[in-house]
């Protein structure tokens, strides 16, 4: 149960956001507020006020930023024209149709799941807009390719600082969240791996923290390629150190993402990196098709993993089994899904929820069906498509390296959404930045073309 400190830190956070906006340049303040909230605020701490969407550390930060930016006179144009707005409208439309098609209640054993009403549609509408706030902030405020070096430096510096409490938890087990906030944010057993521990610190789960460190490691590679030092530290030393932290995190997926990104960054040109990022992300759109048609070799993948680690093989098999059960449930309403109130989940005859949802894709497919799944991922893949089209208009080679690395980070986020849910507010801000920079490059091109004519 959260203690008094958890409540004090949570409710005082808007004041910290205001202080950052007053004290520092707006870009620095926004990025620092978003990443610091993830790293320091209590995890899985949710306040559910009446008539408002649930508040947690990321939604609280997003709302605080929007309110204080407005009060401080900082302009934020959200409704810019373009395909992205049409895709967002499409996603909102699907959620409305999902409500209309799920008005009847469901009774499973002793569990009563209410039918959906138009209040649920309104709630979904508001939650979607709040979810997209970091995306809009990135699109509007970080729309210059010159922003990327500072973004990557901040990521790496935060990772280096955060590695210190991580090292403590590798040795003594993930206890810092409990010690400060009075409760474990995730199942402790899930953090035990190979005779040691995954660190969680205040992020909440070892997988999530490892993915965050992987993102910072990829950013460090771009700094290394551009020969940018982090204080007195060489970027190569930083890469080696963060890679060691990832090994100690005992998370194969994060190590795989970093290794794959290293191949692209050091072996391919920036333009080819962007294209590969788009192709990798497109796999996510095809994954449900492969699962439905049963062409993805689940058993072969599990057998291959078991040869190296039985624990990880069993973990993957558990994920696949849950995914298969949830997909079967989702296919009962394949187009617009089951909507909210847990109607997309699996219950036993007594009404107990026996499902485990890990991947973002199966959550979206279950909630809003194939159409909701498509619009959700189309919103996130569109920045990659724009990046591929406009990277050639970047003149400086070092800016191209940062830009293409940003495409890889987003592509890795999308791939991670198949087994996990790695797309948090920080990565949404980076996705918005990639879109904003691509749009600005396109606009610059037209302005130069008009000047010549």
Could you read off the pLDDT of 347-402 as tens digits, one per residue?
Answer: 887 888 788 787 899 999 999 999 999 999 999 999 999 999 999 999 999 999 99
Q: What is the pLDDT of residue 197?
A: 86
pLDDT digits 0-9 by tens, 70-90: 999 887 776 566 789 999 999
Per-residue pLDDT band at 446 (split at 50, 70, 90): low
pLDDT digits 0-9 by tens, 228-238: 999 889 989 99
Q: What angle do CA 414, 417, 418 make, to 5 degrees?
A: 110
Tell me if 376 sits within 8 A of 91, measured CB to CB.
Answer: yes
The better pLDDT of the pair 81, 223 is held by 223
Q: What is the pLDDT of residue 447?
A: 58
Q: What is the pLDDT of residue 422?
A: 62
Q: What's the residue count for the chain?
A: 453
**Is the pLDDT assigned to residue 107 strictly greater than 90?**
no
pTM of the model: 0.92
pLDDT digits 0-9 by tens, 109-145: 778 888 898 888 888 889 999 999 999 999 999 999 9
Cβ count near 74 (within 10 Å): 16
pLDDT digits 0-9 by tens, 20-55: 999 999 999 999 999 999 999 999 999 988 767 789
What does the alpha-carbon distance between residue 233 and residue 229 come to, in Å, rounded to a whole number?
6
Which tokens sit at 79? 């409704």
Q: What is the pLDDT of residue 450?
A: 60
Q: Which of 65, 75, 70, 60 has its CA nearest to residue 9?
A: 60
Tell me if 405 sits within 8 A of 218, measured CB to CB.
Answer: yes
What does the alpha-carbon distance between residue 178 and residue 201 come to, in Å, rounded to a whole number?
9
| Section 300-317 average pLDDT | 78
Q: What is the pLDDT of residue 147?
A: 94
Which tokens sit at 276? 């590969």
What does the alpha-carbon distance between residue 208 and residue 186 come to, in Å, rounded to a whole number?
11
Q: What is the pLDDT of residue 204?
A: 87
**Is the pLDDT assigned to residue 453 strictly greater than 80?**
no
Per-residue pLDDT band at 451 (split at 50, 70, 90): low
**Is the pLDDT assigned to residue 420 strictly greater than 90?**
no
At 391, phi and psi to the nearest 5? -60, -30
Exposure string for 203-241, b = 16+ CB within 10 A, e = fewer = bbbbbbbbbbbbbbbbbbbbbbbbebebeeeebeebbeb
Three-state secondary structure along the chain? Answer: CCCHHHHHHHHHHHHHHHHHHHHCCHHHHHHHHHHHHHHHCCCCCCECCCCCCCECHHHHHHHHHHHHHHHCCCCCCCCCCCHHHHHHHHHHHHHHHHHHCCCCCEEECCEEECCCCHHHHHHHHHHHHHHCHHHHHHHHHCCCCCHHHHHHHHHHHHHHHHHHHHHHHHHHCCCHHHHHHCCCCCCHHHHEECCEECCCCCCCCHHHHHHHHHHHHHHHHHHHHCCCCECCECHHHHHHHHHHHHHHHCCHHHHHHHHHHHHHHHHCCHHHHHHHHHHHHHHHHHHHHHHHCCCCCHHHHHHHHHCCCHHHHHHHHHHHHHHHHHHHHHCCCCCCCCCCCCCCCCECCCCCECCCCCCHHHHHHHHHHHHHHHHHHHHHHHHHHHHHHHHHHCCCHHHHHHHHHHHHHHHHHHHHCCCCCCCCHHHHHHHHHHHHHHHHHHHHHHHHHHHHC
Per-residue pLDDT band at 449 (split at 50, 70, 90): low
| Section 236-242 average pLDDT | 94
Tell me if 250 sits within 8 A of 290, measured CB to CB.
Answer: no
At 78, phi and psi to the nearest 5? -90, -45
| Section 263-282 average pLDDT | 94
Per-residue pLDDT band at 195 (split at 50, 70, 90): confident
> Which one of 94-98, 122-126, 310-314 scores highest in mean pLDDT?
94-98
Q: What is the pLDDT of residue 294?
A: 84
| Section 276-302 average pLDDT | 87
Q: What is the pLDDT of residue 154?
A: 95
Which tokens sit at 292? 């439905």
What does the alpha-carbon distance between residue 217 and residue 241 come to, in Å, rounded to a whole number?
9
Q: What is the pLDDT of residue 304?
A: 79
Which residues are paired to 47 by β-bridges?
55
Mean residue pLDDT across the chain: 90
Place of tokens 């390719």: 145
Q: What is the pLDDT of residue 79?
A: 58
Q: What is the pLDDT of residue 84?
A: 92
Lowest mean pLDDT among 217-221, 244-248, 316-320, 383-387: 316-320
Q: What is the pLDDT of residue 78?
A: 65
What does the alpha-carbon distance between residue 382 and residue 431 come to, in Å, rounded to a whole number?
9
């Amino acid at each position: 149960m959260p203690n008094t400190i958890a409540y004090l830190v949570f409710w005082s956070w808007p004041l910290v956001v205001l202080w950052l906006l007053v004290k520092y340049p707006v870009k620095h303040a926004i990025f620092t507020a978003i990443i610091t909230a993830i790293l320091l605020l209590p995890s899985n701490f949710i306040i559910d006020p009446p008539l408002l969407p649930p508040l947690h550390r990321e939604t609280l930060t997003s709302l605080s930023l929007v309110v204080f930016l407005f009060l401080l006179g900082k302009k934020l144009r959200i409704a810019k024209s373009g395909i992205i707005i049409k895709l967002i409208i499409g996603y909102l439309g699907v959620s409305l149709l999902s409500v209309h098609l799920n008005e009847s209640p469901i009774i499973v054993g002793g569990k009563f799941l209410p039918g959906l009403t138009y209040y649920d549609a309104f709630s979904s509408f508001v939650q979607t807009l709040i979810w997209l706030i970091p995306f809009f902030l990135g699109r509007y405020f970080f729309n210059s390719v010159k922003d990327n070096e500072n973004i990557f430096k901040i990521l790496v510096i935060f990772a280096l600082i955060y590695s210190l409490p991580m090292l403590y938890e590798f040795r003594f087990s993930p206890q810092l969240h409990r010690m400060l906030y009075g409760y474990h944010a995730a199942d402790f057993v899930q953090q035990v791996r190979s005779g040691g521990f995954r660190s969680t610190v205040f992020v909440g789960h070892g997988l999530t923290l490892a993915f965050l460190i992987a993102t910072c490691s990829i950013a460090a590679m771009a700094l290394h390629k551009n020969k940018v030092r982090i204080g007195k530290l060489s970027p190569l030393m930083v890469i080696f150190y963060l890679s060691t932290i990832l090994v100690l995190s005992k998370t194969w997926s994060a190590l795989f993402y970093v290794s794959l990104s290293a191949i692209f960054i050091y072996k391919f040109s920036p333009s080819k990196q962007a294209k590969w990022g788009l192709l990798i992300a497109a796999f996510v759109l095809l994954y449900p098709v492969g699962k439905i048609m049963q062409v993805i070799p689940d058993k072969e993948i599990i057998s291959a993993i078991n040869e190296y680690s039985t624990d990880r093989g069993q973990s993957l098999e558990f994920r696949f089994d849950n995914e298969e059960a949830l997909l079967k449930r989702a296919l009962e309403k394949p187009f617009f899904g089951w909507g909210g109130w847990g109607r997309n989940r699996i219950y036993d005859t007594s009404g107990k929820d026996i499902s485990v949802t890990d991947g973002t894709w199966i959550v979206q497919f279950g909630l809003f069906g194939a159409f909701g799944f498509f619009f959700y991922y189309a919103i996130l893949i569109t920045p990659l498509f724009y990046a591929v089209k406009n990277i050639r208009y970047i003149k400086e080679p070092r800016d191209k390296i940062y830009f293409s690395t940003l495409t890889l980070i987003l592509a890795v986020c999308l791939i991670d959404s198949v087994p996990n849910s790695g797309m948090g507010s920080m990565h949404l801000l980076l996705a918005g930045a990639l879109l904003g920079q691509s749009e600005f490059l396109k606009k610059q091109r037209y302005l130069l073309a008009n000047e010549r004519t």
